[in-house]
């Protein structure tokens, strides 16, 4: 019977030290996966603690996703354990909130190195360890579906969409699936620093009228890594309460009430 269970599968999650990444890692462990959680910290962050009764297992490795040598070392370490990689969640990301006329090339490059190049390096390093039926999930953003104002961050998430589509085409013949989830306003340490005006305006543009939780993103990631999505590749799934679906029409609709 096809299910969400990932018993015996090995999944790498980047940016797993807090927020969405930590929730994804914990949920995957609950589903039975062996999760290799990575982040910048030298030791396992407290937020990654999982119940001893969990179905799977979690190990932690320090990784800077923008460092090609770090990815190579991770791949060699996984191979030395005799593990096949069944899933990769490119969750690591940073933001930069400069507006169009204030942003520098350095701003774009810094965000790009993590949000786009980091995902490319992960795919390049771990795809050789994947067999047929492996799954890669790239974590985009509602910013990658809209003209969101932080130009460096938005440009990086649009670029990640292109990377994901090329990867789905190139790796499809090997049975490797690549899909993208696009979170909206999710309650995380990253969004906690947003101005109150940003929160209020975003909620006004969200048909469900609330922010999302990290578990709501993790649930979609789990689906895309599971056999239940075995014929899904190249898909882009917003997890945004409907924010990206109305093309700005909600503001007009609200004004006419």
Task: Please report the domains of the chain, with CATH numbers, ordered by start residue.
Answer: 10-245 (3.40.50.720)
| 112 in catalytic set | no
Q: How many residues does the chain have?
A: 257
Whole-prediction pTM? 0.95
Predicted confidence band at 250 (pLDDT cuts at 50, 70, 90)?
Answer: confident
pLDDT digits (tens, 9 = 90+) for 56-104: 899 999 999 999 999 999 999 999 999 999 999 999 999 998 999 999 9
Q: Convert 61-127 into a string of H (helix), E (strand) and C (coil).
A: EECCCCCHHHHHHHHHHHHHCCCCEEEEEECCCCCCCCCCCCCCHHHHHHHHHHHHHHHHHHHHHHH
Q: Which one of 60, 112, 149, 153 is the catalytic residue?
A: 153
């Amino acid at each position: 019977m096809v299910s969400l269970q990932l018993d015996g599968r090995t999944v790498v999650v980047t940016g797993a030290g807090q927020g969405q990444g930590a929730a994804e890692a914990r949920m995957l462990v609950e589903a039975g996966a062996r999760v290799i959680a990575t982040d910048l910290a030298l030791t396992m962050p407290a937020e990654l603690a999982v119940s001893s009764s969990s179905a799977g297992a979690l190990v932690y490795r320090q990784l800077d996703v923008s460092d090609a040598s770090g990815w190579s070392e991770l791949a060699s370490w996984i191979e030395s354990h005799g593990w096949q990689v069944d899933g990769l969640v490119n969750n690591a990301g940073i933001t930069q909130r400069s507006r169009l006329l204030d942003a520098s090339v350095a701003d774009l490059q810094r965000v790009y190195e993590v949000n786009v190049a980091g995902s490319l390096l992960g795919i390049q390093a771990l795809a050789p360890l994947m067999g047929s039926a492996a799954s890669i999930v790239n974590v985009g953003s509602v910013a990658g579906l809209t003209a969101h104002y932080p130009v460096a961050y938005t440009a990086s998430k649009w670029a990640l969409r292109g990377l994901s589509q090329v990867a789905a085409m190139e790796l499809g013949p090997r049975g490797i699936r690549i899909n993208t989830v696009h979170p909206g306003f999710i309650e995380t340490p990253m969004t906690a620093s947003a101005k109150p005006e940003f929160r209020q305006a975003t909620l006004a543009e969200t048909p469900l009228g609330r922010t999302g939780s990290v578990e709501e993103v993790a649930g979609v990631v789990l689906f895309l890594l599971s056999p239940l999505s075995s014929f899904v590749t190249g898909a882009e799934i917003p997890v945004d309460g409907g924010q990206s679906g109305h093309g700005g029409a909600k503001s007009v609709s609200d004004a006419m009430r």
